[in-house]
Amino acid sequence: MGELGCLGGRDAVLRVSDASVVREGRVLLDGVSLAVRAGEHWALLGANGAGKTTLLRLLGALAHPTRGAVELLGHRIGRVDLRELRALVGHVDPRHPLRSPLRVREVVLTGLTGSVEPVPRRSVSAEQLAYADELLELLGVAGLAQARWPQLSQGERGRVLIARALLPRPRLLLLDEPATGLDVPGRERLLRGLDALRSADPGLATVLVTHHLEELPEGTSHALLLRAGRVLARGPVDEVLTGDSVSACFGLPMVLTRTDGRWHVRSRRPAGAVAG
């Protein structure tokens, strides 16, 4: 994997230092700092417009900060070839723009080139094919390897896209609202797959973006709360995800509970209100 692949122990996979993003005079992120280490699983939470997607683009080396610094595996964005850095980051976007009726295994194999369609005359090794099948098995969609992409449900597509992102063996996996559009069974299968992944690759770091706490896997270890482009709280999940912090993040009084490792949230009933 070369120089960029030398990551050991609990070293930081990525580090964001006082980063701000300003576009056309509008501040999208304001002084954000974050460090994600190998084996940590972060939740990035905030209401619509909080800056989650903008921050995720910085983490994935898809954009530069206006001010501040972003380092991926010790290499500062803006001073190295971004294409080399992006090869070490798996990015899962449920809005994957594929339109062709590719078979599922073919979709997974496009993760080797980071392309939507297969690259002509690009050879695939037996080891890579075997690993693609291993990932599909891990994520519970091995039986769909020969299915066509348009035949898949939204939930099945989500798990296939995770396999695609993992095929190049990245050290960081970014998940942009992966449960978008899923029904409850689809969401639960997706979350089981993510927890299985974390057990299978203890060194992999993940950042999952959502505004629904019910979509967080049990294995979530850390959380960052964003509001209007600023960090409200960050750190170990048990310290950050409290009723008060979540209420401040979303601008609504909330009651937060956790059962069997999963979070549930509802609005707080005003004092004196009577259930009807």
Please say whether the beta carbons of 109 and 126 come within 8 A: no
Residue 4 has pLDDT above 50, yes or no: no
b/e code 98-135 from CB counts within 10 Å (16+ = b): beeebebbbbbbbbbebeeebeeeeeeeeebeebbeeb
127 pLDDT more than 90: yes
Mean pLDDT of all residues in 149-172: 92
Phi-psi map region of 89: left, alpha, beta (phi>0 left; psi -120 to 50 alpha): beta
Domain boundaries, the chain: 6-238
> Which pLDDT belongs to residue 18?
95
pLDDT at 272: 56
Work out the number of other CB atoms within 10 angstroms of the CB of residue 13: 27
Query: Residue 265 pairs with which residues in a beta bridge?
Result: 256
Would you state the pLDDT for residue 6?
A: 37
| Site of tokens 């930081």 | 12
∠ CA(61), CA(205), CA(16), 5° rounding? Answer: 45
Which of 48, 43, 51, 3 has its CA nearest to residue 23? 51
Q: Is the pLDDT of residue 121 over 90?
A: no
Tens of pLDDT along 78-100? 776 667 777 778 988 888 899 89
Q: Is 163 helix (H, G, I), strand (E, B) or coil?
A: helix
Tokens representing 96?
């994957």
Tell me the pLDDT band of 197, cut-offs 50, 70 and 90: confident
Mean pLDDT score, 22-43? 94
Neighbouring CB atoms inside 10 A of 11's CB total 13
Q: What is the pLDDT averaged over residues 206-232?
A: 93
Residue 275's pLDDT is what? 52
Q: Which CATH number applies to 6-238? A: 3.40.50.300
Confidence of residue 190 (pLDDT cuts 50, 70, 90): confident
Q: What is the pLDDT of residue 248?
A: 93
